[in-house]
Amino acid sequence: MAFGAVTAAILLAPGAHADVDTDFANQLHGYGIYGQRDYNAWMGKITCERLATHVDTTAFQSATFLRGNLDRTTSTQQVWQFLATAVQTYCPEQTPALRAAADSSHTTTKEQR
């Protein structure tokens, strides 16, 4: 379910506008993710930086990082929506990390059947 959210977030990402942080906030609102606009923008950019510097080497680690630093009421699905939106907005070059997480999840699901 969370990975469906990732795919949907990638597909539904709007085109770039003048204020990237505002676009990011607006898209988060669509997922029911609120909180301070600036904080969320920082978190999106830092998430990208952690992937770029290999502090986080997988999207699963990114999700763990976000889960610990977003509002406690944020659901697992929203964490993945946040991550996918952050990658799409601030570091689209990291999209393969998201796809790898989605693929490994699909593989695991098939093996369990």
Partner 1 sequence: MTTRLPLMQCCAMTVAALIATAMSGAAPASADATDEFPIPHRMIVTTCDAEQYLAAARDTSPVYFERYMIDKSNRPAYIQQMAEDRIHWFFSLDPAGRRQYSEDTATDVYYEQVATHWGNWAKVFFNNKGVVAKATDVCTNYPRGDMSVWDWR
Positions that interact with partner 1 (CB under 8 A): 39, 42-43, 46, 49, 53, 55, 65, 68-69
Taking the C-alpha atoms of residue 77 and residue 85, their distance in angstroms, rounded to an integer, is 12
* Nearest residue (CB) to partner 1, 53 versus 112: 53
Q: How far is the CB of 46 from partner 1 (least distance, A)?
A: 5
Residue 34 or 42 having the CB closest to partner 1: 42
Distance (Å, whole) CA 44 – CA 46: 6
Nearer to partner 1, 8 or 52 (CB): 52
Dig out the tokens for 21 from the structure: 């942080």
76 vs 11: CA distance, rounded Å: 19
